[in-house]
Amino acid sequence: MYRAPRGTADILPEEQPYWRYIEREMVNVCQLYGYERIDVPVFEDIQLFTRSVGEETDIVKKEMYTFEDRGGNIITLRPEGTAPVCRAYLEHGLHNLPQPVKLYYIAAIFRYERPQAGRYRQHYQFGCEAIGDDDPALDAEVIDMAWKFFMSFGLRGLSLNLNSIGCKQCRPQYLTALKDYYADRIQELCSDCKMRLKRNPLRLLDCKKLLCQQIANSAPRSVDHLCPQCNEHFDRLKRYLDLLALPCVIDHCLVRGLDYYTRTVFEIQPEEAGAQSTLGGGGRYDDLIEELGGKPTPAIGFATGIERIIVNLKKQGVAVPALPRPQVFIAYVGDEAKDEATKLSSTLRRNGIGVIEALGSKSLKAQLRQANTLSAHHAVIIGEQEVKTGTVILRDMTTAQQKTIPLNQLPGLLR
RNA sequence: GUGAGUGUCGCCUAGUGGUCUAAGGCGCCAGGUUGUGGCCCUGGAGAGCGAGGGUUCAAAUCCCUCCACUCACCCCA
């Protein structure tokens, strides 16, 4: 028997209300902030990701689904959404539009990892990107919008963490300070952190091991090493966030896993931080567009994992609205009645009334049982009597009241 | 990639070497008289116990290998 590939999942009808609810809230919020939808391909040239995400990141080193197609092109299933959107921005000359260009997407993301709670090989992310402006008010707006999402879903008890990791001017000095600090403590570090010190020193700061965390807490802070421009940017951002009264907490150990981030980084986490706790995160990537071959273009974005939102909605017991279904069930007795039922179903649907017609030649009892299971509001029953008289029995399934009515009155009564 | 746990009908679960050619609940299907649901009653379909190999007179029950799932690490949404 075939099974869905490891780390993938079927989203069955009973799960769909969560997905449609989240999608709807997202679209609403995006419209409030002036974001427009973009859909980008599921796969891209591998280099788009190796260039942008960073050769040393786990995503590029071990998590990409990459293959050679029949034309000899090296293709990668997108492991994140920002780079493809930036590619589209450049490819279609969107810099000719009023800046910033605000785009959002809801897209499947692919990462070859060992699955666990809240982590899949194919998962779905909502993401938004505001490309073409470096005003810290835009940072504040993106963070505000991210926060609004989770509030609109009805999630509570979330924390909003913020940091600034500087730009390519001031980051090198900071990294030097960081490495100097850690060099003295190298023997106290876990084996992973020893590697990080060489490969990706920023990541030293968010090691989960208790001892490493203690060391990280007293490490030099990126915000103390910002250049004047970055410092002013961060100060102004904090002021805007105050104005918006967002419950923001500065986390000096917050860094993000992708290389392209500059200046502002932020994350949103649920109260009870489980293992895969991050609900969403984002930040500025002021160098990325240039890195991909465009003119220097500042930008900021945010992404969130839809599966993780659903996990939290369930954990918090948030009720989501049911999806609409046909409320009318049509039952029949006899072949002539079945002909009538078939015609009637079509007529009702043409009038915008959702209908489920019985099939086969089941007993009326069985048909009504099905109507009940489907929780139809009304059953329409057609038998030999009704065919002869051009009528129909309309039965209210909640009150069990029923009456015979002329066929042509039915659409009006059901509407 | 590493570590731990789990694996019996669609779902949940009983069964820990021999009346297990596997039991129950939910769900599903059908009946309970003649054209009518939900409650109740009755019956039915549905697994050979993740897969393969061993041990044994005998295995769902013990051992081995593999696979899958779950959780955790790495990392991230």
Strand B within 7 Å of which CB atoms in A 108-137?
109, 111, 113-120, 123, 125
- Mean pLDDT on A260-273: 88
Nearest nucleotide over every DNA/RNA strand to the A7 CA, judged by C1': B69
CATH class of the region A13-170+226-315? alpha beta
Instruction: For domain A328-414, give the fold.
Output: Rossmann fold (3.40.50)
Phi-psi region of A352 (alpha: psi -120 to 50; beta: other; left: phi over 0): left
Strands A101-110 and A159-164: unpaired
The pLDDT, as a whole number, for residue A48 is 95
Tokens representing A53 are: 């995400």
> What's the DSSP call for residue A60?
I
> CA–C1' distance A1–B17 (Å)?
30
- List the domain boundaries for chain A: 13-170+226-315, 328-414
Exposure b/e, A227-258, CB count within 10 A at least 16 = b? beebbebbeebbebbeeeebebeebbbbbbbb
Nearest residue to A341 via CA among A410, A413, A402, A397: A410
Asked if residue A164 keeps its beta carbon closer than 7 A to nucleic acid strand B, the reply is no
* pLDDT the model gives residue A137: 97
Q: Enumerate residues 6+ apart whose C-beta is below 8 A from A169.
A: A227, A229, A230
At A208, the amino acid letter reads: K
- Residue at the smallest CA–C1' distance to nucleotide B70: A116
Hunting for tokens 């609004």 — which residue is that?
A148
pLDDT in tens, A154-183: 898 899 999 999 999 999 999 999 999 998
Q: What is each CA distance from A204 to A158, A184, A194, A275, in whole angstroms?
A: 25, 14, 9, 18
Amino acid at A325: R
Nearest to A111 by CA among A166, A164, A57, A157: A57
- The span from the CA of A348 to the CA of A413, in Å, is 11
Residue A109 and residue A80 in contact, taking contact as beta carbons nearer than 8 Å: yes
Coil vs helix vs strand at A396: strand
Q: What is the pLDDT of residue A146?
A: 96
Handedness of CA A13, A280, A259, A183 (dihedral sign): negative
Question: In this prediction, does ipTM exceed 0.90?
Answer: no
A327 touches strand B (CB under 7 A): no
Q: Are A203 and A196 in contact (CB under 8 A)?
A: yes
A307 touches strand B (CB under 7 A): yes
Answer whether residue A44 shows pLDDT above 80.
yes
Whole-number distance in Å between A124 CA and B65 C1': 36
Distance of CA A346 to the CA centre of its chain: 38
- Residues 1-60/A with CB < 7 A to strand B: 3, 6-7, 57-59
What is the distance in angstroms measured between the alpha-carbon CA of A121 and the sugar C1' of B11?
25
Mean pLDDT, chain A, whole residue set: 93
Q: How many CB atoms lie within 10 A of CB A289?
A: 23
Q: How far is the CA of A411 from the C1' of B33 (A)?
A: 35
CA-to-C1' span, A365 to B33 (A): 13
For residue A329, give the nearest of A282, A288, A283, A377 by alpha carbon: A377
Residue A381, helix vs strand vs coil: strand
Helices and strands per DSSP (H, E), number in chain A: 15, 16
Torsion of CA A81, A82, A87, A88, to 10 degrees: 70
What tokens does A15 get? 């799960």
Q: Round to whole Å and give the CA distance between A339 and A172.
A: 79
What is the number of residues in chain A?
Answer: 415
Q: How many angstroms is C1' of B28 away from CA of A374?
A: 14
pLDDT, tens digit (0-9, with 9 covering 90-100), for A81-91? 999 999 999 99
Q: How long is the CA A330 to C1' B43 vector, in angstroms?
A: 28
pLDDT value at residue A273: 58
Give the torsion sign (CA, A21, A105, A64, A195).
negative
What is the C-alpha separation between A65 and A102, in angstroms, rounded? 28
Which pLDDT tens digit goes with each residue over A317-329?
898 999 999 999 9
Instruction: Output the distance from A258 CA to B74 C1' rounded to whole Å.
Output: 15
Which of A51-60, A327-336, A357-366, A381-390 has the least mean pLDDT? A51-60
Please report how many Cα atoms fall inside a 13 Å half-sphere around the Cα of residue A204, on the Cβ side: 34
Q: How far is the CA of A3 from the C1' of B62 (A)?
A: 30
Contacts of A305 by beta carbon, 8 Å cutoff, 6+ apart = A118, A123, A124, A125, A278, A279, A280
Q: pLDDT band at A275, cuts 50/70/90?
A: low
pLDDT at A274 over 80: no
Nucleotides of B under 7 A from a protein CB: 1-3, 27-32, 35-38, 68-77
- For residue A176, give the 3-state DSSP assignment: helix
Each residue's pLDDT tens digit, A51-83: 998 888 888 888 999 999 999 999 999 999 999
Helix, strand, coil in percent for chain A, rounding step 5:
45, 20, 35
Helices (H), A118-269: 136-153, 171-183, 191-199, 210-217, 228-243
pLDDT in tens, A288-307: 999 999 999 999 999 999 99
Protein-nucleic contacts, chain A 64-93 to strand B, CB < 7 Å: 80
C1' of nucleotide B74: residue with nearest CA: A192
Query: Would you say residue A110 has pLDDT above 90?
Result: yes
Percent of chain A with pLDDT over 90: 78
Strand A122-131 to strand A159-164: parallel, antiparallel, or no bridges (unpaired)?
Answer: unpaired
SS3 A41: coil
- Chain A 212-241 residues in 7 Å CB range of strand B: none
